[in-house]
């Protein structure tokens, strides 16, 4: 009977926000608004960087790639979540769950590595400015992006194999709004401790190692900034790092809260709230932070808008 139950599971039920009843309609419109704003904001960042030659630098190349990756990241989670908020039977097929977890983990890991690469870029720009263009060349930028993506999706393959090699029991109810690692692996009917230990080790590799490297970079950056004689010079130099630091704190903070702890400590309600932050809010935060706090991007945005409005009037 146990074998039969395992073979019968061809789809999962995503419980998500079903306990909120009629509030799901309100959540649908809130998340839809945030989602559309996220797509618009990230698309705007990419268009501005593409059109303004002053932004054709390594820093903005990495920001362009991050915005593109964040857009794909939201496409993996949010449309299905919005559909399920309006559905009386919020389900996802087994193959759909596998694909969602694969792209979610792959893009999330890629983003973690990209943010670390952006920290390295700031380190070289501030601590070794004379050799900046030589060290962070166009070829190096491309190689770093490709390496980040390759490592991210390689880790995703390993995670998917670990999660979906677990035989599932009769329950197919995922206590989440998407196929995340802990809620899915908890449905397994065999001992998953070894698999969870491997996933925990990979989480350390993806989150803690880049975070430590970013911290070391900023130790050198702060040391260099303090050596600048003028206060105005210090302020301008640090301003180039402020946006990146904000993204680091939010991105790594939320992800660490969820993935750097044992699965046994998984708390569905609290973790769903944090998951909303890193799947819905954070992708919107990145373009807003870089637009509102970055003078170069704001100037470029004004130039692109004025050029567009001028072309309309002619």
SS3 assignment for the chain:
CHHHHHHHCCEEEECCCHHHCCHHHHHHHHHHHHHHHHHHHHHHHHHHHHHCHHHCCHHHHHHHHHHHHHHHHHHHHHHHHHHHHHCCCCEEEHHHHHHHHHHHHHHHHHHHHHHHHHHHHHHHHHHCHHHHHHHCCHHHHHHHHHHHHHHHHHHHHHHHHHHHCCCECCCCEECCCCCCHHHHHCCECCCCHHHHHHHHHHHHHHHHHHHHHHHHHHHHHHHHHHCCCCHHHHHHHHHHHHHHHHHHHHHHHHHHHHHCCCHHHCCHHHHHHHHHHHHHHHHHHHHHHHHHCCHHHHHHHHHHHHHHHHHHHC
Summarize pLDDT for 279-305 with one digit per residue, the tens.
888 888 888 887 766 777 778 878 877
Rounded alpha-carbon distances, angstroms, from residue 105 to 73, 213, 230, 310: 9, 21, 44, 43
| Dmax (CA) of the chain | 76
Average pLDDT score over residue span 57-79: 93
Whether 3 has a pLDDT exceeding 60, the answer reads no
Tokens 């430590």 correspond to 212
Pairwise CA distance, residues 238 & 84, whole Å: 43
Pick from 76-90, 145-159, 258-272: least confident:
258-272
Whether 270 has a pLDDT exceeding 90, the answer reads no
Summarize pLDDT for 161-216 with one digit per residue, the tens.
999 988 887 678 888 889 999 889 888 888 888 998 999 999 999 999 999 999 99
Whether 225 has a pLDDT exceeding 60, the answer reads yes
pLDDT of residue 313: 67
Task: Report, in angstroms and rounded to the nearest whole number, the Rg of the chain calculated over CA atoms.
Answer: 22
Question: Which tokens sit at 198?
Answer: 């491997």
Q: Could you tell me the pTM of the whole model? A: 0.89
CB 161 within 8 A of CB 283: no
Whether 42 has a pLDDT exceeding 60, the answer reads yes
Which of these, 155, 138, 250, 168, lies nearest to 200 by C-alpha position?
155
Tokens 């702890």 correspond to 261
Average pLDDT score over residue span 31-58: 90
pLDDT of residue 105: 96
Pairwise CA distance, residues 165 & 69, whole Å: 28
Average pLDDT score over residue span 232-245: 79
Average pLDDT score over residue span 136-160: 96
Summarize pLDDT for 84-117 with one digit per residue, the tens.
898 888 889 999 999 999 999 999 999 999 999 9
Whether 269 has a pLDDT exceeding 80, the answer reads no
pLDDT of residue 267: 58
CB 180 within 8 A of CB 104: yes
Question: Which tokens sit at 16?
Answer: 């998500």
Domains by residue range for the chain, with CATH: 11-308 (1.20.1070.10)
The share of the chain scoring above pLDDT 90, in percent, equals 43
CB 203 within 8 A of CB 222: no
Pairwise CA distance, residues 260 & 212, whole Å: 14
Averaged confidence pLDDT in the chain: 86
| Residue 5's pLDDT band (cuts 50, 70, 90) | very low
- Alpha carbon 157 to chain centroid distance? 17
| Residue 160's pLDDT band (cuts 50, 70, 90) | very high
């Amino acid at each position: 009977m146990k074998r039969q139950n395992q073979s019968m599971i061809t789809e999962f039920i995503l419980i998500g926000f079903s306990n909120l009843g009629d509030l799901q309609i309100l959540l649908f419109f809130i998340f839809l608004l945030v989602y559309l704003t996220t797509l618009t904001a990230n698309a705007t960042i990419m268009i501005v960087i593409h059109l303004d030659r002053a932004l054709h630098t390594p820093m903005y190349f990495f920001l362009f790639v991050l915005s593109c990756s964040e857009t794909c990241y939201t496409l993996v989670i949010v449309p299905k979540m919005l559909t399920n908020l309006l559905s009386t039977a919020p389900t996802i097929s087994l193959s759909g769950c596998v694909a969602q977890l694969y792209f979610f983990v792959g893009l999330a890991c890629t983003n973690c590595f990209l943010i670390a690469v952006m920290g390295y870029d700031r380190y070289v720009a501030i601590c070794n400015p004379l050799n900046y263009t030589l060290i962070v060349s166009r070829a190096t930028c491309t190689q770093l992006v490709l390496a980040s993506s390759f490592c991210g999706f390689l880790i995703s393959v390993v995670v998917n194999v670990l999660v979906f090699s677990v035989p599932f029991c009769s329950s197919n109810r995922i206590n989440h709004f998407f196929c995340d690692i802990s809620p899915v692996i908890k449905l397994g009917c065999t001992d998953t401790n070894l698999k969870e230990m491997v996933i925990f080790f990979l989480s350390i590799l993806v989150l803690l190692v880049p975070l430590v490297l970013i911290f070391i970079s900023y130790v050198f950056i702060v040391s260099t900034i303090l050596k600048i004689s003028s206060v105005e010079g210090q302020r301008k130099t640090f301003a180039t790092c402020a946006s990146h630091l904000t993204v680091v704190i939010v991105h790594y903070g939320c992800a660490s809260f969820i993935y750097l702890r044992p699965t046994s400590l998984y708390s569905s309600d609290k973790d769903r709230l944090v998951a909303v932050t890193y799947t819905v809010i954070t992708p919107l935060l990145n373009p807003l932070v870089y637009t509102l706090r970055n003078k170069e991007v704001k100037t470029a945005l004004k130039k692109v808008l004025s050029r567009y409005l001028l072309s309309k009037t002619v």
